[in-house]
A and B are shown apart, each in its own frame.
Chain A
Amino acid sequence: MIFSLAIYGAPYSSQAAYSALRFAEAVIRQGHSIHRLFFYTDGVHCGTALACPPQDELNLQQSWQQLIERHKLDAVVCIAAGQKRGVISEGEAKRFGKPAFNLAPGFELAGLGQLADAVAHSDRVITFGG
């Protein structure tokens, strides 16, 4: 079965982003495929490369990066939601004249059309944090 995940919860603020990670791992483990991870609203903070949680806590952002890279997942951070919240790519940083960028490797910025596309091409779209 083809899954897509829509993640709205910020890391650590709620269980949503962690549940999404666990769900994604389970989906892959059981032999299903993931068409897309779509990080929206506060979920965009999962895509930052700058998180430094204490060593005795799960590094949720890093866990996402590792999962995405290991399984070559399509991971989209909503560009509008990311811009608002300061999760931007190198290109966006240049475009807006910002001193830095923080979008982690493996993630890409794209529009809400990618969520519509996920709906069209997945058997199931599961929401986390809505």
Chain B
Amino acid sequence: MEQKQSLYICRHTPLQSSLARDALDAILAAAVYDQPLEILFSGEGVLQLAKNLSAPSVQQKDLRKNLMALPMFDITRVHVCTRSLAERNLSLEQLGVDGLEIEPSDAAACQQLIASAHTVLSF
């Protein structure tokens, strides 16, 4: 397959809709095909990276386990929108996923990520 840089934007809370998990499934599938990709957590999606997100007692699988699988597919860095964090009174210190570097991106950096991607997939 052709190598085109794609950007996956994760915009939904971990539990409210299935899109958080579905995005990760799509990302892992793309990684299997060695597609170069970046991941941006934005809006409510920043909550997916919260350290204190625990395996919920609502009959759903733990999303963090999927996030921790990313490094196995050579994805070791994700981006987080700092404006979305500020809007939710969250700090970078409250985020963390084993094996993942979380890079803060301000509005200009987010714009740059979107502009430099050949394809943007929004979840």
Task: Give A contacts to B, CB under 8 Å.
Answer: 6, 8, 40-42, 80-81, 111-113, 115-117, 119-122, 124-125, 127, 130
B107: A residues at CB distance < 8 A: none
- Total contacts A-B at CB 8 Å: 60
Binary CB contact string for chain B from 102 to 123 against chain A (1 if under 8 A, 0 otherwise): 0000000000000000011111
Q: Is the CB of B26 within 8 A of A120?
A: no
Report the minimum CB–CB distance from A27 to chain B (whole Å). Answer: 16
Q: Is the CB of A122 within 8 A of B119?
A: yes
Q: Is the CB of A80 within 8 A of B30?
A: no
Q: A116-B1, A119-B119, A119-B121 are in contact. Are A130 and B25 (CB under 8 A)?
A: no
Report the minimum CB–CB distance from A127 to chain B (whole Å). Answer: 5
A-B contact pairs, 19 of them (CB 8 A): A6-B121, A40-B22, A41-B18, A113-B32, A115-B26, A116-B29, A117-B1, A119-B4, A119-B35, A120-B33, A121-B1, A124-B119, A125-B119, A125-B120, A127-B122, A130-B11, A130-B19, A130-B122, A130-B123
Q: Is the CB of A119 within 8 A of B30?
A: yes
| CB-based nearest A residue for B23 | A130
Report the minimum CB–CB distance from B64 to chain A (whole Å). Answer: 20
Q: Is the CB of A112 within 8 A of B18?
A: no
The docked-state distance in angstroms from the alpha carbon of A8 to that of B9 is: 14
B35: A residues at CB distance < 8 A: 116, 119-120
Chain B at the A interface: mostly helix, strand, loop or mixed? mixed
* B25 partner, pick from A8, A80, A125, beta carbons under 8 A: A80
* B2 partner, pick from A6, A113, A121, A124, beta carbons under 8 A: A121
Report the minimum CB–CB distance from B21 to chain A (whole Å). Answer: 9
* B29 partner, pick from A8, A81, A113, A121, beta carbons under 8 A: A113
Q: A40-B26, A124-B119, A130-B121 are in contact. Are A116 and B33 (CB under 8 A)?
A: yes
